[in-house]
Structure 1
Amino acid sequence: MPKPIRIFDTTLRDGTQGEHISFSAEDKFRIAKRLDEFGIHYIEGGWPGSNPKDMAFFEKAKKHTFRHAKVVAFGSTCRAGNSPEEDTNLRALIQVETPAVSVFGKTWLLHVEEALNITPEENLKIISGSVNHLKAHNKEVIYDAEHFFDGYRHDPDYAIRTLLAAECSGADVLVLCDTNGGTLPHEISGIVHEVKKHVSAPIGIHAHNDCELAVANTLAAVQAGANHVQGTVNGYGERCGNANLCSVIPNLQLKMGHHCVSGQNLPQLSTLMKFVGELANLVPDSKQPYVGKSAFAHKGGVHVSAVMKNAATYEHIAPEKVGNRRRVLISDLSGKSNLSYKSEELGFHFDKQSEESTAIVQKLKTLENEGFRYEAAEASFELLVKHMTGQAPDYFDLEGFRVIVEQNAKGESRSEATIKVRVNGQVELSAAEGNGPVHALDAALRRALCEFYPEISAMSLRDYKVRVLNEKKGTGAKVRVLIDSAAGDNGWGTVGVSENIIDASWQALSEGVTYFLMNNSSKPKKIKPINDGKILTS
């Protein structure tokens, strides 16, 4: 039966244990506020006392009123040989003043006898004493049974006894952890089902992704009776990561009918994924289910034709439910349906039945064969179609450019570009230096055009990528250049292909400028020629 599921986010703690993941205290606080707005129930902020950054986060969180979530401090049960009252770890959990704490203890006898070097009975006393001490300080206690599934396979009776030790001492939730990430979904389901016969406290699941089954294992646990789910945004975490909440939540809510967050908040999921990824300084995974850029992208002409008639033919949900959107890609696999859909999306007319449409499809296939790709260069695609249908405005013509790169004996380099363009019959010659040849060429073009189009100062280059297309030709290989440009919040991509990296860069660069001027409805400013109409210089 569908039931409410409590979502426990550990991005700020377990997520930061992943390779390349690091958040400042301010980053963690911003993410916590965003998770709260989304409707997460518990936000695990870190391990108090383990590092200054986590302590700084808890200080910030203490001063903020969270509307929905409870902030959670994480730590271990008391050390062997310590009383709970004297244990520094438990003292730190109490001192940060969070309403809830997450405390882990040992389940697997391998860890009890070899890692801790204590008896099984001593371990049970540590668990019960730690939980009891935290409850005495009015904490909501979420007990994490570390390595539970490995421990259960080794000795089911003892694994259950560790849970009972926590439950009898007042633990509010018993979380079964697949710490090594090696358990299969059918095993998860069977073990959770058996556990529920012995304990009455709510059951949680904490799954790692070492077999790429963390999401599946989480769903299996819920199906078997768990109602508390732990995971991270984007699946960040140690080794192969944790259960990805960006997949877990929509699967539980949209597929299985459980309630995780409000339906009004669920469309924030895609932006939440990007927000956390941006603060982690990691490129979003475009193939991530539900929220990735490619999750609802269609490339084959047959697919697009069907989707235009009924989206359910190739989409398992409406992308808007998770804040994503449908994308139609343009490539050598495209048919007229792709071009028609993309044209309407970009706001210009395209007649599927015209002779021009056949010519455009053939031209696209030819260009793709030469190495052009338009999936990430929609601005170049729009300009191509408008040129072939006579709808493209002409803002400037290139008379020529020259790029010089110099390097002295000290290894210091200098790049300079000179460019000559014609606008409304007037010629402008300009030169500029840059960090590299493409930067210099960009600066020279802007300087040449700014007299005619002052608004170009609002445009900037956001990203520049080069891909070698035929590596076997070595330095003579053809390259594809992708340039992302932006003006304010609006961004667009353009592409160029050539054996000459400067030429490929120019193609993408000039199309980026043209696209900006076109969308800005720019008109050249009339300027008075000097030197009796001869070439202008700057």
Structure 2
Amino acid sequence: MTGEHIWIYDTTLRDGAQREGLALSLEDKLQIAHLLDQLGVPFIEGGWPGANPKDVQFFWQLQQEPLTQARLVAFCSTRRPRTTAAEDTLLQGILAAGTPWVTVFGKSWDLQVTEGLGTTLTQNLDMIADTLTYLRSQHRHVLYDAEHWFDGYQANPEYALATLETAHNAGAEWLVLCDTNGGTLPHQIIHIVQQVKTRFPQAQIGIHTHNDSGTAVANALAAVQSGARMVQGTINGYGERCGNANLCTVIPSLQLKLQYNCITSAQLARLVEVSRAVSERVNLAPDDHAPYVGLSAFAHKGGVHVSAVGKNPLTYEHIAPEQVGNQRRVVISEHSGLSNVITKAQELGFTLERSHPATREVLQRLKDLEEQGYQFEAAEASFELLVREVLGQRRPAFVLHGFQVHCQTQARGEGHWSSSVATIKVAVEGQELLTAAEGNGPVSALDRALRRALENFYPQVREFHLSDYKVRVLDGQSGAAAMTRVLVEFTHGAHRWTTVGVSPNIIEASYQAVAEGLEYGLAHCQPVPLSPGVG
């Protein structure tokens, strides 16, 4: 099978958008479509034109700004029971979209026909035949999505096969078998796809799987190995309920593990970029632990792992991360050994020798601080400042002399009104500054007051944005006296960094994280960068 082509069909813009909590604007859909086009995806399902105004506008917009290589596909159902395809207004919307390719879904399961559609088994076959014949007469290429195919086959194989035969005879160029409820397992997929291939040896077979049993990717791979030559799925596995087959896992598994051709090697190296760009567009945090594309997919925490990977990456990596656009990361934690510290410092631009006392001091201070509740694997900027401090290279941009935070809540009508004011005193280059600022919470107020004190000396702090704030109580049994860990993320353009603070006082912990975040940002925005390395 080496070198055989598998057609990738993306339905992020339609099936993926059915995920709970996910909403796409017109601009989002257009941007994602162009990202998928650049990735080399050959089929992009854009939605159901005629079902809502946004999809109508989307297809019209792409007529004005067409994709470069991908086939744009419109999606619809078979005609309704008591009309004809030529009279069905929804099909007129499909034709108006102007796409040469159309995907039609129809019922394969007798239960869905009688109870879902409320019609007869014979009428359902007529609906499939009439719809596909009409679209073919209008010079459209048709893919037929056999909805609930695997449930239908297991309940009534003769009727399920009859629906496929009807679609095939009516001119469908692809017969796509859908595990709509996501309840089928790989061994069942293999058996049933093989039965379909035996019945329709000349047909092109596709697979569309959902992840309700956690096997969507495995099912898609099993179908391909059984003869399917198209895989439908979504970027990052987005989709209704538990999601669809994740194309960010399917594509590299097919290409790097099974030696099928899906996209070019150069396009595959953009997979992480596309995965994260789509996450940004749909406003969902990326899954750090996703296979292939996750931030942690090639992260190494245990000292033995780090040492081995340094000698030969194959010891703990199943592929080279660069093949999918990812990179190796060394994680710093209480589990770290000297190999972790040396490798992580090297990533940050420092040269630490195994025999140098500073290297062991970094490791010891790391372990001592993590014993107190610090967590450096999620706060690499704080780890860099720790290394600089041990090496005598940490030159703080400011010195804290004290701060106060005042929070006030008052009743207002039927609700409440609250405000926070922070006052802070710092010294910069020997000059003492006292400033105050309001915020929508104590941390926001503290952040604004500190920036206000610094911006006359360091105007670049205006460009730093506090983008995320996380709090964790480390000892739940200590109640309000428990140690608190705060993680703060800053952004400056495309650059992101995270710092950590720990204290029984949540405001103190927050100040530590915010102050280190600004210090790190300033160190990386200096006109002359600080020089790393052991002196």
TM-score w.r.t. length of structure 1:
0.94
Report the equivalent of 1:74.
Answer: 75
Q: List aligned pairs for 1:327-406, cutoff 5 A.
A: 327-406=329-408
Deviation at residue 456 of structure 1 after TM alignment: 2.6
2:199 partner SS: coil
Q: CA distance change for structure 1 residues 488 and 109 in 2, over 3 Å: closer, same or farther?
A: closer
Report the equivalent of 2:521.
Answer: 516
Structure 2: distance between partners of 1:122 and 1:435: 61
Structure 2: distance between partners of 1:228 and 1:209: 18
For the aligned residues, what is the CA RMSD? Answer: 1.5
Report the equivalent of 1:140.
Answer: 141
Deviation at residue 34 of structure 1 after TM alignment: 1.0
Choose the corresponding residue for 2:434, options 423, 429, 434. 429
Q: List aligned pairs for 1:138-177, cutoff 5 A.
A: 138-177=139-178
Deviation at residue 108 of structure 1 after TM alignment: 1.2
Across the two proteins, how many residue pairs are aligned to each other?
Answer: 523
Report the equivalent of 1:296.
Answer: 298
Structure 1: distance between partners of 2:158 and 2:461: 72
1:197 partner SS: helix
Deviates more, 1:44-53 or 1:204-213: 44-53
Deviation at residue 33 of structure 1 after TM alignment: 1.1
* 1:438 maps to 2:439: no
1:394 partner SS: coil
Q: CA-to-partner distance for each residue in 1:372-426, whole Å, 9 max, x for gaps? A: 1112211100111111221212322211112222333433333222222223333
Report the equivalent of 1:531.
Answer: none
Amino acid across the alignment from 1:51: N
Structure 1 residue runs of 5 or longer lacking an equivalent are 524-538
Report the equivalent of 2:454.
Answer: 449
Deviation at residue 128 of structure 1 after TM alignment: 1.4
1:85 partner SS: helix
Amino acid across the alignment from 2:260: H
Report the equivalent of 2:531.
Answer: none
Q: CA-to-partner distance for each residue in 1:202-223, whole Å, 9 max, x for gaps? A: 0000001110100000000000
* 1:34 maps to 2:18: no
Amino acid across the alignment from 2:424: I
Q: CA-to-partner distance for each residue in 1:475-517, whole Å, 9 max, x for gaps? A: 2222111111122322211100111111001111111121122
Structure 1: distance between partners of 2:240 and 2:267: 28
Question: Is contact 2:51-2:90 (8 Å) kept?
Answer: no
Amino acid across the alignment from 2:513: A
Question: Is contact 1:128-1:169 (8 Å) kept?
Answer: yes
Q: CA distance change for structure 1 residues 174 and 497 in 2, over 3 Å: closer, same or farther?
A: same
2:90 partner SS: helix
Amino acid across the alignment from 1:419: I
Report the equivalent of 1:201.
Answer: 203
Deviates more, 1:348-357 or 1:158-167: 348-357
Report the equivalent of 2:130.
Answer: 129
TM-score w.r.t. length of structure 2:
0.95
Question: Is contact 1:453-1:522 (8 Å) kept?
Answer: no
Report the equivalent of 2:317.
Answer: 315
Question: Is contact 2:305-2:316 (8 Å) kept?
Answer: yes
Report the equivalent of 1:462.
Answer: 467
* 1:275 maps to 2:277: yes
Amino acid across the alignment from 1:153: Q
Deviation at residue 436 of structure 1 after TM alignment: 2.0
Deviation at residue 278 of structure 1 after TM alignment: 1.1
Amino acid across the alignment from 1:76: S
Amino acid across the alignment from 1:147: H
Question: Is contact 1:208-1:240 (8 Å) kept?
Answer: yes
Deviates more, 1:82-91 or 1:30-39: 82-91
Deviation at residue 143 of structure 1 after TM alignment: 0.3
Deviates more, 1:147-156 or 1:347-356: 347-356
Identity %: 54
Deviation at residue 38 of structure 1 after TM alignment: 0.8
* 1:259 maps to 2:261: yes
Amino acid across the alignment from 1:35: L
Report the equivalent of 1:529.
Answer: none
Deviates more, 1:88-97 or 1:297-306: 88-97
Structure 2 residue runs of 5 or longer lacking an equivalent are 529-535
Q: CA-to-partner distance for each residue in 1:301-322, whole Å, 9 max, x for gaps? A: 1101111111111110111111
Amino acid across the alignment from 2:34: K
Structure 2: distance between partners of 1:392 and 1:29: 46
